[in-house]
Amino acid sequence: MTGTVMITSPVLELLHRRASVRKFTARPVPAALLDGLLAAAQRAPTSFNLQAYCLLVLTGADQRRALAELVGQRHVASAPVVVVICADLARLQDLGAGLAEPVGPQHHDLATTAVVDASLAGMCLSLAAESVGLGTVMLGAVRNRPEPVADLLGLPTGVEPVFGVCLGWPAEQPGIRPRLRADLLGHTDRYSPDQARQSASVDAASLVKGADPITAEDLAAWRREVVRGLRRARQRSAPPPAPG
């Protein structure tokens, strides 16, 4: 897997130049366009056509400001639309009961299905938005404080926020961030432990950023971001503190 693309298309070009946008203009997203984007997102692949997710669409300024305060990210308030993508096991339980096929929280594979379905729908939403000139950024921070976020959105038991998608007309054109070379992540026929170890020992030669060279600052920024992500994962996994 060389990573060299000999054939191009609008989708390939979009993916190769995509970058997260965190500054938006005040221009609203037309309701008809938003409806079309949400309909496109729901064409995402889904296991057994379960569509085990729900989309919470926040267009009201007060709701977006409240979410921005909860997650500590200002661009959530400035984006004209925020869509919180949730894994929805509650609906699957109701669906199963209605079809005489009862399921419950003990059916762990359905939880995985719901997260996968939600992720595919969210990515399709983002790409659909970017294809018409909107900017987007994913919002994993909704998982930092899941209970307050659930309260804000009125989520019942069994509905969990997976991530959000902020979208609007971009007020900036950020540069693309480095990614690992495709040949480090793509294994052929069988998993290669040696290749995996190489992909975890990152230097400037391990990264690509379109046609631009990788600088020392690119490498340092990549490492800082990975460290932040690993620390955040530990924080999310830590047991809650014992009551005082």
Tell me how far apart the alpha carbons of residues 164 and 149 are, in angstroms, rounded to a whole number. Answer: 11
Report helix, strand or coil for 163. Answer: strand
Instruction: Give the pLDDT of the chain (244 residues) as one tens digit per residue.
Output: 555 557 889 999 999 999 999 999 999 999 999 999 999 999 999 999 999 999 999 999 999 999 999 999 999 999 999 999 999 999 999 999 999 998 877 778 899 999 999 999 999 999 999 999 999 999 999 999 999 999 999 999 999 999 999 999 999 989 889 999 999 999 999 999 999 998 888 899 999 998 899 999 999 999 999 999 999 888 888 766 665 5
Fold category of 18-173 in CATH:
NADH Oxidase (3.40.109)
| Beta strands 135-139 and 81-88, pairing class | unpaired
pTM: 0.89
Residue ranges covered by each domain of the chain: 18-173, 176-238
